[in-house]
Amino acid sequence: MTFQFESLAAFLAMNNHGPFVWAAYGITLVVLITLVVMPVLQTRSFFRRQRRLQRLAEKQTGQ
C-alpha cells in the first residue's frame, strides 16, 4: 500500500487545493459543534429561568 502524498506538507497542500479543503472541514466542524452546543445552552437557560420564576412565585404566594 502506498501513500498518495510524498510528505505531510504535500498532504496539507493537497495539490494547491488544501486551503479550500481544510476551510470546508473547519466550517463543517464549527457548524456541527454549534448544532450540539446551542441546544444544551438553551436548555440550561430555560431551566434556570423556570427555577427563578418558580422561586419568585413561591415568594409571592407565601407573603
Q: What DSSP character marks residue 7?
A: S
Residues 6+ apart with CB under 8 A from 34: none
Question: Does the pLDDT of residue 62 top 70, yes or no?
Answer: yes
Q: What type of residue is 16?
A: N
Residue 55 confidence (pLDDT) = 95
**pLDDT per position as a tens digit, 8-33:** 899 889 889 999 999 999 999 999 99
Q: What DSSP character marks residue 5?
A: S
- Cβ neighbour number for residue 2 with a 10 Å cutoff: 3
Instruction: Please tell me the chain's helix, strand, coil percentages from 3-state DSSP, rounded to the nearest 5.
Output: 80, 0, 20
Question: Does the pLDDT of residue 61 top 90, yes or no?
Answer: no
Share of the chain above pLDDT 90, in %: 73
Cβ atoms of residues 49 and 56 within 8 Å = no
